[in-house]
Amino acid sequence: DVKVTQSSRYLVKRTGEKVFLECVQDMDHENMFWYRQDPGLGLRLIYFSYDVKMKEKGDIPEGYSVSREKKERFSLILESASTNQTSMYLCASRTFSPSTDTQYFGPGTRLTVL
Amino acid sequence: DQQVKQNSPSLSVQEGRISILNCDYTNSMFDYFLWYKKYPAEGPTFLISISSIKDKNEDGRFTVFLNKSAKHLSLHIVPSQPGDSAVYFCAATIGGGADGLTFGKGTHLIIQP
C-alpha cells in the first residue's frame, strides 16, 4: 500500500510567520504534489515536483515555495503566512504506468492563520 | 476557466438505490480520469479511474462511464450505502505527463436511510 504522511494534522500560525508543511511518501515515487482544498473551490494545485530538486508551479503558486531535497520528501513553505492561506493542505504522490496514472493523498494538514 | 465541472454541489439518494454523480470536462487533451472520495478532515481516497481508450470501468459497486464525444463522465454507485456519504471529486489529467490533476469542485453525496 502506498503511504503518504504529512507532518501535522492541525496547525495554527500567526500572520507573518514562516510555515513549513512536510510530506513523506514511502513508495519511491518521482512525482509529488501539493494542493489546497477550500469549500466550493475543490482542490487546486500549488506546486509539483517530478524529481529531486525539480519543481514546477501549479495553478496557484503565489505566496508559496517548495523544496525537494530527497526523493521521499516534499516540503511546502509559506514564507510569510497570511489569513487567506487558511486552508486544508493536501500532499499527493503519483504512480503511473502505460495503463494507470493515480495520485495517492496524505491525510491533510488543516492550517489556520490568525 | 474551469476545465473540470461538477455541476451538482450536492446529491441526496436513498440507501439501496443507485447514486449517479456527473462530471464534464472541456480540455480535449485530458485522457485519464479519476474519481476520489473525501471525508471531512481526511485526504481524498482514490476510488476508480478510466482511460480514454475505454468507455466503462467497473470495480465492485463502482462503475465509471466515459462519453468522449460529450466530454462527460459519470460515477455510478450501486447499491448506495450509508458509508458512501462523502464528497466526491472528479479529476482529469493528461496521462504520462508529470502535471497534477485538475479537479472539479466536488459533489456532496448524502445517503439517506
Residue keyed to cell 514511502 = A26
- Closest-CA distance, A15 to chain B, in angstroms, reads 23
Cis peptide, bond prior to residue B40, ω within 30 of zero: no
pLDDT at B103: 92
Which pLDDT score is estimated for A44? Answer: 93
Cross-chain residue pair A45–B34, CB shorter than 8 Å? no
Mean pLDDT by 10 residues, chain A (114 residues): 88 97 93 93 92 92 96 96 97 84 91 97
Kindly list the distances between the CA atom of residue B102 and the CA atoms of A9, A32, A96, B70, B95, in Å, as whole numbers in the listed order. Answer: 24, 15, 16, 18, 12
- Do residues B93 and B99 touch, judged by C-beta distance below 8 A? yes
* Cell numbers given for A38: 477550500
- How many Cα atoms within 13 Å fall on the side-chain side of residue A12? 1
pLDDT at B11: 97
Residue A35 to residue B32, Cβ atoms within 8 A: no
Question: Is the pLDDT score of B98 beyond 80?
Answer: no
Q: Give chain A's mean pLDDT.
A: 93
Quote the pLDDT of residue B99.
74
User: Could you report the per-residue pLDDT of B68-97, keeping only the tens digit for each?
Assistant: 999 999 999 999 999 999 999 999 988 766
Between CA B10 and CA A50 the distance in angstroms is 35
Rg, Å, chain A Cα set: 14
Which of B95, B96, B100 shows the shortest C-beta gap to A48? B100
Please name the residues in contact with B82: beta carbons below 8 A apart, sequence gap of 6 or more: B15, B111, B113
Give the residue-averaged pLDDT of B6-12: 95
- Residue B44, classified by CB atoms within 10 Å of its CB into exposed (0-12), middle (13-18) or buried (19+), is buried
What are the residues whose beta carbons fall under 8 Å from the beta carbon of B53, sequence distance 6 or more?
none
Per-residue model confidence as pLDDT tens digits over B37-53 = 999 888 999 999 999 99
CA atoms within 13 A on the CB side of B74: 11
Q: Number of residue pairs across A and B with CB atoms under 8 Å?
A: 68
Residues from chain A that touch B100, judged by Cβ atoms under 8 A, are 33, 35, 45, 48, 58, 92, 103
Contacts of B46 in chain A (CB under 8 A): 102-105
Are B41 and A110 within 8 A, CB to CB?
Answer: yes
Longest Cα separation, chain A: 45
